[in-house]
Amino acid sequence: MTIQARMDSVRSKSEALSQNSRSESKEMTEKPPLVVIVGGGFGGLAAAKGLKRSPVGVLLIDRSNHHVFQPLLYQVATSVLAPGQIASPIRSLLAKQANISVMLGNVTGVDAASKQIIVDADDKIGIRISYDYLILATGATHSYFGHDEFAAFAPGLKNLSDAESLRNHLLEVFEKAEIEDDPDRRQALLTFVMVGAGPTGVEMASAIAVMTQTTFRKDFRRIDPESAHIVLADMGSRPLATFSEKLSEAAKQRLVSLGVDVRLGKPVQAIDRDGVVIGDERIQAKTVVWTAGVAPSPAGKWLGCGVDRAGRVRIQPDLTVPDHPDVFVVGDTASLDQDGRPLPGVAQVAMQQGKYAALCIFRKVIGHPPSPPFRYFDKGNLAVVGKNFAVLQSAGVQLSGFMAWLVWALIHIQFLAETSLRFSVFLQWAWTYLSGKRGDRLIIRQRSGS
Ligand SMILES: Cc1cc2nc3c(=O)[nH]c(=O)nc-3n(C[C@H](O)[C@H](O)[C@H](O)COP(=O)(O)OP(=O)(O)OC[C@H]3O[C@@H](n4cnc5c(N)ncnc54)[C@H](O)[C@@H]3O)c2cc1C
């Protein structure tokens, strides 16, 4: 089927829906409008689901075939969960939604003047697909703050393949340390540096600490995994800087009690294959993980519109791009101020914006007046610091310790994309919690010639 035929089929599937709404519609034409959503992450998926009952055809394009629950990527990297426990095929998540078609493709540009997007799919380069409405939800990637040379030695954690290769690497350095006779080289193998003390850095550092103290404790004969040196570095003055000072301090104390070496207030000057320079001190380390900055997708460049300092598209209060009332940008790749402060790059913002964009399109299509401006409802902030401990900040409530950890666990299970994943993660966590054993401790590398 050609791309055009596919688009016609998406539109015709939505005819039935449009028949129902036609009597209410002022704007409805013979062909239902086509909404193209780019990105099947938190924002794009929420938008797609929000259009379920709209008299439109929807085409969702993503360069990967799955939706990932990014907040649990660190658990794949530290062998608690398997990749398939935190991700689902986008196609299957939307299978019951008749007006949606899903396409595997990499969007490389937008021609807003002619209302077309440009996609590479399989071996077809530069396919043009017309849209009536466009929702860009293409997320973010790592930012090395102008030090792209760090990328080769300090990978980040953004998708499943990052998490899997980090898991392989973490497991491998313990194996190498087990057979290393030189004490300095062994210590470098057992030194882990996280650059960036936001939630991902804190979660990774504490998870590695727990891994060395529980699962690995009895597994090795020559090395003591607990001799691992885990460093959490940040040039800011406290970890979890988006939390209150009290919760930051609680998280710091917890990290220290887990044996994490928290180094604050000094910039990372250099990273190479043998270690890292923090301030003026060199630390020999075979593992450096970049948990610091993120940069948005190139959506701003595609649209040629105004962007903020980080490169995120400056959107209007109805989430559209200035001069393009049919183009919405949501989630990590969008920039919107609320009460004088930019909205944070978190899943809740992306989901609420995706839902709102879907509602705006629905109302336009059926000829209803526009929705009031978007307003983010902040349900709170959570970060986990090892076993039995999390920090929670929500509507004036500040909590740290076991209760916060229980809330963290329940909320993360609830927000997984499918019921089967919720069961699977719950059982895995219960097993790991009781036995100290991790689920997915496999080093899987492609061997040449096999
Ligand atoms: C390790 C980690 C931990 C996190 N922990 C938390 C947490 O605890 N709580 C929280 O609220 N938030 C957390 N976040 C942030 C949260 O995951 C993001 O804010 C959220 O995913 C943003 O949603 P989005 O839809 O904008 O982008 P994403 O969810 O990143 O989705 C973007 C989608 O677009 C696709 N895409 C990108 N470019 C293209 C293209 N050119 N063509 C086609 N498809 C494309 C991608 O494949 C992806 O599927 C975490 C993020 C990370 C990386």
Measure 140 CA to ligand 1 centroid, in angstroms.
Answer: 6
Instruction: Please give the pLDDT value at position 446.
Output: 66
| Residue 204, in any domain of the structure | yes
Pair (30, 43) in one structural domain: yes
Measure 173 CA to ligand 1 centroid, in angstroms.
Answer: 29
Dist CA 291 CA 143 (whole Å): 10
| Residue 163, in any domain of the structure | yes
State if residue 239 touches ligand 1 by the CB under 6 angstroms criterion. no
- Which atom, in ligand 1's list, is nearest to the CA of 159? 53
- The domain that holds 308 is classified in CATH as 3.50.50.60
| Residue 343, in any domain of the structure | yes
- Name the domain count of the chain: 2
Task: Give residue-wise pLDDT tens across range 283-321.
Answer: 999 999 999 988 999 999 999 999 999 999 999 999 999
Dist CA 333 CA 43 (whole Å): 10
Residues 303 and 212: beta-carbon distance below 8 Å: no
Find the radius of gyration of the CA atoms of the chain.
Answer: 23
Rounded to 10 deg, the angle between the 199-213 and 245-257 helix axes is 20
Q: What average pLDDT does this structure show over 189-215?
A: 96
State if residue 73 touches ligand 1 by the CB under 6 angstroms criterion. yes
Pair (122, 229) in one structural domain: no
Pair (279, 329) in one structural domain: no
Residues of the domain holding 215: 145-292
* Mutation to probe ligand 1, out of 127, 138, 330, 412 (largest number of atoms < 8 A from CB): 138
Instruction: Please give the pLDDT value at position 341.
Output: 94
**Domain boundary at 365, 397, 416, which?**
365
Instruction: Please give the pLDDT value at position 8.
Output: 60
State if residue 332 touches ligand 1 by the CB under 6 angstroms criterion. yes
Q: Residue 408: CB partners within 8 Å, gap ≥ 6?
A: 382, 383, 384, 390, 392
Model confidence at 3, in pLDDT bands (50, 70, 90)?
Answer: low
Show the tokens assigned to 260. Answer: 């994490």
Beta bridge partners of 391: 383, 400
Dist CA 273 CA 301 (whole Å): 33
Task: Give residue-wise pLDDT tens across range 63-104.
Answer: 999 999 999 999 999 999 999 999 999 999 999 999 999 999
Is 175 tagged catalytic? no
Task: Give residue-wise pLDDT tens across range 270-287.
Answer: 999 999 999 999 999 999
Catalytic-labelled residue, pool 175, 203, 245, 418: 203
Closest CA to 154 of 61, 47, 326, 289: 289
Q: Do you know the residue count of the chain?
A: 450
Measure 42 CA to ligand 1 centroid, in angstroms.
Answer: 6
Task: Give residue-wise pLDDT tens across range 207-222.
Answer: 999 999 998 988 999 9
Model confidence at 17, in pLDDT bands (50, 70, 90)?
Answer: very low
Measure 333 CA to ligand 1 centroid, in angstroms.
Answer: 9
**Domain boundary at 232, 260, 292, which?**
292
Pair (154, 285) in one structural domain: yes
| Residue 177, in any domain of the structure | yes
| Residue 246, in any domain of the structure | yes
State if residue 106 touches ligand 1 by the CB under 6 angstroms criterion. yes
Pair (240, 273) in one structural domain: yes
Model confidence at 13, in pLDDT bands (50, 70, 90)?
Answer: low
- The domain that holds 190 is classified in CATH as 3.50.50.100
Pair (167, 255) in one structural domain: yes
**Mean pLDDT over all residues of the chain?**
93
- Which atom, in ligand 1's list, is nearest to the CA of 298? 41
Pair (284, 170) in one structural domain: yes
Measure 429 CA to ligand 1 centroid, in angstroms.
Answer: 23
Pair (121, 259) in one structural domain: no
Task: Give residue-wise pLDDT tens across range 338-388.
Answer: 999 999 999 999 999 999 999 999 999 999 999 999 999 999 999 999 999
Q: Residue 189: CB partners within 8 Å, gap ≥ 6?
A: 173, 174, 176, 177, 180, 286
Measure 415 CA to ligand 1 centroid, in angstroms.
Answer: 14
- Which atom, in ligand 1's list, is nearest to the CA of 90? 49
Q: Whose CA is nearest to atom 44 of ligand 1?
A: 62
State if residue 40 touches ligand 1 by the CB under 6 angstroms criterion. yes
Closest CA to 269 of 283, 258, 250: 283
State if residue 143 touches ligand 1 by the CB under 6 angstroms criterion. no
Pair (110, 8) in one structural domain: yes
**Is the pLDDT reported for residue 42 higher than 60?**
yes
* Alpha helices (runs of H) in 190-337, residue ranges in sequence order: 199-213, 245-257, 299-303
Comparison of pLDDT for 19 and 377, the residue scoring more: 377
**Domain boundary at 325, 342, 365, which?**
365
Comparison of pLDDT for 307 and 17, the residue scoring more: 307
Q: Residue 265: CB partners within 8 Å, gap ≥ 6?
A: 234, 235, 236, 237
| Residue 75, in any domain of the structure | no
Pair (215, 176) in one structural domain: yes
Give Cα 68 distance to the centre of its chain: 7
Dist CA 152 CA 207 (whole Å): 23
Pair (347, 302) in one structural domain: yes
Task: Give residue-wise pLDDT tens across range 130-145.
Answer: 999 999 999 999 899 9
| Residue 78, in any domain of the structure | no
Dist CA 104 CA 109 (whole Å): 15
| Residue 345, in any domain of the structure | yes
Pair (223, 319) in one structural domain: no
Instruction: Please give the pLDDT value at position 293.
Output: 84
Q: Residue 400: CB partners within 8 Å, gap ≥ 6?
A: 247, 250, 251, 254, 389, 390, 391, 392
Instruction: Please give the pLDDT value at position 437.
Output: 83
